[in-house]
């Protein structure tokens, strides 16, 4: 490792030898990170398959399809998908994508693999806890998908699981699907709490010599801030889920009000409040947006600096913006509840706070632009994905300003406008950052580059595809198209507003978008075995510690020699430097050319 000017020798640990201990029940953070990424890829394609089923139902609700009946005899008798099964597909799509993809990959995948290396540590603080966190997450996914197979099928209450629809079998389909959903989420919450503790302790206690908090890469700051949010938010969702399970199985009434009539029968419960669930869920739910987006912001900042050959513009401001997002993220949950009958005074406060949280996001956006401005831009595939993130993040954020106004939200709340907004700001933006991270770190993880041409084709298909899918949904919302409806053929005002054409356009765009993701998967698999070999340990000429170790990194990351950090994370294009980057572990003698002697 010639880039490391100074190091501290520590005791080395021999890698495990058996297959199970090395690749299945591994305590190596790098293997666990790859396991998280593999789980997220499986979950993503599962979620995309469910989205295709929804699109097919929306554009052809009365056309029987034999293959649907063959695959789902109970959900599509006669080849026609029932409205209940549509709602089940919608519920599972949202749950899988939010929890198993957007929460799992940026934090569990990339965070596990690279946080210890970027801070100069041998491993996570609690390796066995790290392994347990992953397998609990995997178990959660299995239980969640298993809800399709139990009596009554998957739940139909949406990924937000609002009671009383989720609390009483009589209010929805009788069966155990909602119980399986709640058990799955409870397991996921436990896994996330354990993981959050691990990330926080690792960041605070495992940094190598010289790695102060203000020398941390912004990726590490993103993972650290996310862990803080997760530690505070997932406990609330876990408690709420347990209470809802008790309402369903032990005759309690935390969320079931008195006087509720279902199918002409008075429900013998009283004292509960469905609004209480909304408060508890969204106290978790809005920070969940930042659990997905903060790691993505860190990755994008990292990639933009590398391929702009410039330091991150306003490094300290970026850190402060993350801190502001963490703080404000816990006081804006009420904007999801403007239509719940809240006091207009409360709505005003939540609206004001919602506008306030846009300020740190705007600071980060301007700083990304400032990082690129005047730089020596290299338009590699990771760079394109990062720029695409900025575009989609801004587009989704603008519609958030609209939804942050209580009066406007009254109209838009239950329409496709909201679907378009949260898919852009939370879903697509995060996924583009994941693509940026994978193409950027792939040579470090596997010693080979992903195919650059295929990656760029995938980027352009994805970039235009997401705007083609979610852009028209804003128009559907503008004409008042309700979301979560399996069929709208009787609503003449939608047909007159062009909804049929828009749905057909969105559906064909979705086909293209999903095909593009299949291309990306092919690129990943092909590159693992036949991709161009990485030129040395630092093919991108980057500055942070992951590029100072071997490729792929050894079991203990630095082969028993932890680097001493002497400089910041993004020192590009320094005056009088020998090259246009200075690694964090480079001494001044390694970075700068010697001054000529007097009289020379």
Name the strand (E) or helix (H) holding 572.
strand 571-572
**Quick one: how many helices (H) and strands (E) in the chain?**
19, 6
* Chain mean position to CA 580: 33
Describe the chain by its helix, strand, coil percentages, rounded to 5: 65, 5, 30
What is the 3 state secondary structure string of 252-280? CCCCCCCCCEECCEECCCCCCCHHHHHHH
> Residue 414: what are its φ and ψ, rounded to 5°?
-100, 30
Secondary structure class of 262 (helix, strand, coil) = strand
Amino acid 416: pLDDT? 97
Location of structure tokens 């997002």: 325
Instruction: Return the structure tokens found at 563.
Output: 């680097």
| pLDDT tens over the chain, length 600 residues | 578 878 888 888 778 888 888 888 999 999 999 999 999 999 999 999 999 999 999 999 989 999 999 999 999 999 999 999 999 999 999 999 999 999 999 999 999 999 999 999 999 999 999 999 999 999 999 999 999 999 889 999 999 999 999 998 777 777 899 999 999 999 999 999 999 999 999 999 999 999 999 999 999 999 999 999 999 999 999 999 999 999 999 999 999 999 898 888 888 888 899 999 999 999 999 999 999 999 999 999 999 999 999 999 999 999 999 999 999 999 999 999 999 999 999 999 999 999 999 999 999 999 999 999 999 999 999 999 999 999 999 999 999 999 999 999 999 999 999 999 999 999 999 999 999 999 999 999 999 999 999 999 999 999 999 999 999 999 999 999 999 999 888 889 999 999 999 999 999 999 999 999 999 999 999 999 999 999 999 999 999 999 999 999 999 999 889 999 999 999 999 998 999 999 999 999 899 977 665 555
| Contact partners, residue 518, CB within 8 Å, separation at least 6 | none
Helices within 250-340 (DSSP H only): 274-308, 315-328
Q: How far, in Å, CA of 536 to CA of 126, rounded?
A: 31
162 burial level (CB within 10 Å; 0-12, 13-18, 19+): middle
CB-based contact 369:389 (threshold 8 Å):
no
* H-state helical runs in 404-537: 406-412, 416-422, 429-446, 452-478, 492-496, 499-530
Residue 504: alpha-carbon gap to chain centroid: 28
pTM check: above 0.85: yes
Cα separation, 177 vs 141, whole angstroms: 14
Q: What pLDDT is attached to residue 366?
A: 97
State the number of CA atoms in the 13 A half-sphere of 3 facing the CB.
21
Whether the Cβ atoms of residue 119 and residue 208 lie closer than 8 Å to each other: yes
Q: How far apart are CA 101 and CA 104, in angstroms?
A: 5
How confident is the model over 401-430, as pLDDT tens digits?
999 999 999 999 999 999 999 999 999 999
Domains of the chain: 23-256+271-591 (1.20.210.10)
Looking at residue 170, what is its pLDDT?
73
Query: Given this model, what pLDDT does residue 597 score?
Result: 58
Phi first, then psi, for residue 187 (nearest 5°) are -65, -40
Residue 343, pLDDT score: 94
Q: Measured between alpha carbons, how far is 120 from 221 in angstroms, rounded to an integer? A: 15
Q: DSSP assignment of 126-157, as one string?
A: -HHHHHHHHHHHHHHHHHHHHTTTSTT-S--S
DSSP character string of 5-64:
SSEEE----PPP-SHIIIIIS---HHHHHHHHHHHHHHHHHHHHHHHHHHHHHHH-TT--
Report the SS3 class of residue 193.
helix
Q: What is the pLDDT of residue 13?
A: 78
Q: How far apart are CA 250 and CA 240, in angstroms?
A: 15
- pLDDT of 175: 82
């Amino acid at each position: 490792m010639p880039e490391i000017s100074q190091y501290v020798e520590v005791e080395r640990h021999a890698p495990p030898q058996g297959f199970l201990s090395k690749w299945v029940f591994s305590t190596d953070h790098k293997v666990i990170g790859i396991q998280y990424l593999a789980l997220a890829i499986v979950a993503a394609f599962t979620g995309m398959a469910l989205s295709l089923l929804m699109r097919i139902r929306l554009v052809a609700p009365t056309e029987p399809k034999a293959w649907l009946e063959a695959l789902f005899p109970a959900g599509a008798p006669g080849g026609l998908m029932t409205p209940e099964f549509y709602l089940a597909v919608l519920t599972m799509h949202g749950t899988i994508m939010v929890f198993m993809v957007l929460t799992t990959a940026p934090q569990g995948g990339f965070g596990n693999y690279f946080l210890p290396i970027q801070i100069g540590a041998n491993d996570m603080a609690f390796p066995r806890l790290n392994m347990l966190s992953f397998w609990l997450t995997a178990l959660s996914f299995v239980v969640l998908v298993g809800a399709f197979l139990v009596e009554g099928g998957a739940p139909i209450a949406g990924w937000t699981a609002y009671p009383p629809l989720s609390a009483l079998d009589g209010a929805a389909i009788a069966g155990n699907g909602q119980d399986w959903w709640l058990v799955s989420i409870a397991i996921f919450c436990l896994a996330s709490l354990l993981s959050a503790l691990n990330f926080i302790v690792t960041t605070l206690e495992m940094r190598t010599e010289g790695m102060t908090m203000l020398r941390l890469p912004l990726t590490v700051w993103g993972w650290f801030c996310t862990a803080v949010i997760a530690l505070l938010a997932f406990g609330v969702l876990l408690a709420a889920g347990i209470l809802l399970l008790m309402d369903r199985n032990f005759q309690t009434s935390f969320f079931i009000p008195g006087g509720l009539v279902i199918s002409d029968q008075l429900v013998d419960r009283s004292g509960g409040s469905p609004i209480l669930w909304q408060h508890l869920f969204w106290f978790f739910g809005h920070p969940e947006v930042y659990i997905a987006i903060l790691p993505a912001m860190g990755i994008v900042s990292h990639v933009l600096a590398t391929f702009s050959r410039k330091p991150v513009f306003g490094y300290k401001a970026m850190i402060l913006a993350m801190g502001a997002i963490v703080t404000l993220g816990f006081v804006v949950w009420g904007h999801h509840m403007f239509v719940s009958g809240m006091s207009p005074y409360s709505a005003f406060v939540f609206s004001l706070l919602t506008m306030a949280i846009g300020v740190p996001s705007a600071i980060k956006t301007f700083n990304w632009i400032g990082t690129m401005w005047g730089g020596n831009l290299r338009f590699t595939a990771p760079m394109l994905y990062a720029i695409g993130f900025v575009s989609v993040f801004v587009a989704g954020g603008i519609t958030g300003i609209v939804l942050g106004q209580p009066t406007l939200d009254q109209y838009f709340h239950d329409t496709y406008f909201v679907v378009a907004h949260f898919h852009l700001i939370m879903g697509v933006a995060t996924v583009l950052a994941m693509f940026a991270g994978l193409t950027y770190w792939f040579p470090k993880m596997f010693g080979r580059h992903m195919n650059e041409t295929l990656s760029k084709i995938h980027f352009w298909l994805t970039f235009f595809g997401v705007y083609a899918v979610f852009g028209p949904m804003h128009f559907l919302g503008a004409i008042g198209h309700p979301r979560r409806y399996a069929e709208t053929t009787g609503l003449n005002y939608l047909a007159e507003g062009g909804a049929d054409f828009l749905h057909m356009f969105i559906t064909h765009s979705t086909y293209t978008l999903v095909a593009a993701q299949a291309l990306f998967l092919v690129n990943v698999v092909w590159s693992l075995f036949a991709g161009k070999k990485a030129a040395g340990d630092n093919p991108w000429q980057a500055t942070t510690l992951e590029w100072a170790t071997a490729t792929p990194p050894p079991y203990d990351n630095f082969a028993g020699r932890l680097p001493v950090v002497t400089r910041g994370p993004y020192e590009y294009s320094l005056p009088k430097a020998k090259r246009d980057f200075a690694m964090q572990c480079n001494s001044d003698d390694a970075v700068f050319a010697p001054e000529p002697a007097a009289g020379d």
